[in-house]
Structure 1
Amino acid sequence: MVIINDALLLEYAKETLEIEINEAQRMLDRLDESIVFACRMLLDCTGKVAVSGIGKSGHIGKKIAASLASTGTPAFFVHPAEALHGDLGMIGTQDVVMFISYSGRACEIITLMPLLADSGIPVIAFTGDISSPLAKGATCVLNIKIQREACPMELSPTSSTVNTLMMGDALTMALMRHRGFSLEQFARSHPGGRLGAQLLNCVHHLMRTGENISKVFWKVTVMDAMFELSRTGLGLTAVCDNHNRVAGVFTDGDLRRWIVQGKSLNDPVDIAMTKPGYCMLKEWRASVALKALHQRKITAAPVVDKLGILVGSINMHDLHQAGIE
């Protein structure tokens, strides 16, 4: 039976991180104008960025391509072996190719280099060997050299893949910030899941409309408003004037206070309502609406257009159900 030494496992994990952090620090210290040159190439590119690598470099390349594409630099990944068997047609003369090979000697990539040169397609190389065939044939070289891998046998790519990923992120973020890539643009690239819900949904996408809007007109009685509260279960009802503009709100709390004070349910609601009441604009981002509800310690609000006309109702449950947090 093998005895598991927990302390030794923790030591191995820490040693791995220490090696990788040290190697990353060395890369930071030697970062130079080559990344500026690479950025200029990509900013001037009128086509797309084709990222390519094989093995672990290929996996990192897929992430780099995805990061570029989602932050304003159109990019895609192409496997170098597949490129040699037809996928080279995916790359056009307006594109820039980004090859990733730590050794700079991957045979598939070296085979592709003269073909790209013949078509006048520029190459950015990520490599740890600036004297390699890849580096010598590239238009721009980004040096990801390390002194040692974190692997004790110096075989499994560890520090080198971390450096590659970091260089790709540095390039991506530099481009993103230079382009002034906005929150709205970011949202368009990330429409799915929680991130999409947070960035894309506006109040008018999630609000209750039609028969689900909770509203009464200001000359009805408190009892009529109570029935509307019960019908919708929203916790409040908007009180509107004859032009459907919100004049106030009548809440469960308003009803309780009215009854406790011994007032009549046949009184007009406009003397029992909260004036002017808190409303939300339909154009607000849903995340902003949720924050506003929390700040005011309320659970629901009428939704209005820019003229103050009631167009919907919304509460915290509607927002949470849509993934807004």
Structure 2
Amino acid sequence: MTSFDYPSSARRTIRLEAEAVSALDGRIGEGFSRACELIMECSGRVIVTGIGKSGHIGKKIAATLASTGTPAFFVHPAEASHGDLGMIAKNDLVLAISYSGSSKEVITLLPLLKRAGIKIISMTANPQSTLGEVAEVNLDISVEHEACPLDLAPTSSTTATLVMGDALAIALLEARGFTAEDFAFSHPGGALGRKLLLRLGDVMHTGSDIPHVSPDTPLLDALMVMSEKGFGMTTVMSNAHELLGIFTDGDLRRSIDRGIDVRSAKVGDLMNTTPKMLRDNTLAAEALAVMEEAKINVLLVHNEQKQLVGVVKINDLLRAGII
């Protein structure tokens, strides 16, 4: 069996596709700005369409636009000719992708789109093509060579198209002032969404689940409350239900090291009067960082009025998928 130099082939592909992407930089100018302005002015959605490999890339571009603040979805041009054209409204904008600019399925839609007054942005390698001429603006995705040694299979060209789509989406993201929280609302089911959306108020234990004793409670009785609730600590509250402090497993160990008689001690004499507390609207991811830095496993949660409203264990945050 003849040995083949797979690494050299791979490096050639990477080099050619990198060159194709680098060439895009010189084409970002007034046309690109006009495309962005058309999308920003659009009161509807961006409808991305394309056939074959351009269609596959178009689906990804539509998904990226939608998740970064630009309402968008993909419509297959062949299906559009058989009813799906009804998915496109007059206040929408069409981003049509065809490397040649003459894909039959895409070209068939153009007269109907123009008649409806729908603006078109094209991505082609040929601005003088049918698609390029009809569009309000064309984004040049031409490449000198495909990575395919036969110069046939769409490789460098699809990479360039994808990068042009990303450039468009990110320029629009920045222009809109799109934030990390906005992004999270588009990704509520993912780990990123949980990190950016989940707050302590969503995961904390409340009400009767919160262990509490009075400062006059004998230490042994306080330990029974701690064991029953399973937080490794108890809050210490006044008769007026004001938080006075916290007593933890760590405080118990430190008290024993100091020779305190646990049979006669009162919990109020041993409690920590400055426990770590965070507001209930604090991001859970931020709380996790605070707990890790302070090397604590339990955090008290207060509301806007500084009242104790909950307790969070580090395991609660881990179960919520914060990391």
Q: TM-score, normalised by structure 1?
A: 0.95
Q: Decide which of 38, 54, 58 is 2:35's aligned counterpart.
A: 38
Sort the Cα spacing of 1:309 and 1:22 in 2 relative to 1 into closer, same or farther, 3 A: same
Q: How many residues align?
A: 322
**One-letter code of the match for 1:311?**
V
> Does residue 209 of structure 2 align to residue 178 of structure 1?
no
Secondary structure at the aligned position of 2:304 is classed as: coil
Sort the Cα spacing of 1:221 and 1:57 in 2 relative to 1 into closer, same or farther, 3 A: same
**1:55-113 Cα deviation digits (max 9, x unpaired):** 11111111111111111111111000000001111111101000000010100111111
How many angstroms apart in 1 are the aligned matches of 2:192 and 2:310?
A: 25
Sort the Cα spacing of 1:26 and 1:231 in 2 relative to 1 into closer, same or farther, 3 A: same
**One-letter code of the match for 1:208?**
H
**One-letter code of the match for 1:132?**
S
Comparing 242-251 with 163-172, greater Cα deviation is found at 242-251
For residues 276-295 of structure 1, the aligned pairs below 5 Å read: 276-295=274-293
Give the C-alpha shift of residue 217 in structure 1.
2.6
> Does residue 224 of structure 2 align to residue 223 of structure 1?
no
Task: Give the unaligned 5+ runs of structure 1.
Answer: none
Give the C-alpha shift of residue 148 in structure 1.
0.4
How many angstroms apart in 1 are the aligned matches of 2:233 and 2:11?
A: 56
Give the C-alpha shift of residue 184 in structure 1.
1.9
Q: Decide which of 139, 142, 145 is 1:142's aligned counterpart.
A: 139
CA contact (8 A) 1:246 1:308 kept: no
Secondary structure at the aligned position of 1:145 is classed as: coil
How many angstroms apart in 1 are the aligned matches of 2:63 and 2:214?
A: 53
Sort the Cα spacing of 1:59 and 1:244 in 2 relative to 1 into closer, same or farther, 3 A: farther
| Counterpart residue number, 1:20 | 17
> Does residue 161 of structure 2 align to residue 157 of structure 1?
no
Give the C-alpha shift of residue 279 in structure 1.
1.2
Q: TM-score, normalised by structure 2?
A: 0.96
How many angstroms apart in 2 are the aligned matches of 1:196 and 1:74?
A: 18
Give the C-alpha shift of residue 235 in structure 1.
2.3
> Does residue 33 of structure 2 align to residue 49 of structure 1?
no
Task: Give the unaligned 5+ runs of structure 2.
Answer: none
Give the C-alpha shift of residue 3 in structure 1.
5.5
Q: Decide which of 313, 317, 320 is 2:318's aligned counterpart.
A: 320
How many angstroms apart in 2 are the aligned matches of 1:144 and 1:116?
A: 23
**1:103-140 Cα deviation digits (max 9, x unpaired):** 10100111111111111111000011111110011111
| Counterpart residue number, 2:203 | 206
Sort the Cα spacing of 1:242 and 1:107 in 2 relative to 1 into closer, same or farther, 3 A: same
How many angstroms apart in 2 are the aligned matches of 1:102 and 1:164?
A: 9
CA-atom RMSD in angstroms: 1.4
**One-letter code of the match for 1:284?**
T
Comparing 295-304 with 146-155, greater Cα deviation is found at 295-304
> Does residue 79 of structure 2 align to residue 82 of structure 1?
yes
Secondary structure at the aligned position of 1:123 is classed as: strand
Give the C-alpha shift of residue 4 in structure 1.
5.4
Sort the Cα spacing of 1:33 and 1:237 in 2 relative to 1 into closer, same or farther, 3 A: same
| Counterpart residue number, 1:248 | 245
How many angstroms apart in 2 are the aligned matches of 1:131 and 1:301?
A: 65
CA contact (8 A) 1:34 1:140 kept: yes
Secondary structure at the aligned position of 1:89 is classed as: helix
How many angstroms apart in 2 are the aligned matches of 1:247 and 1:97?
A: 63
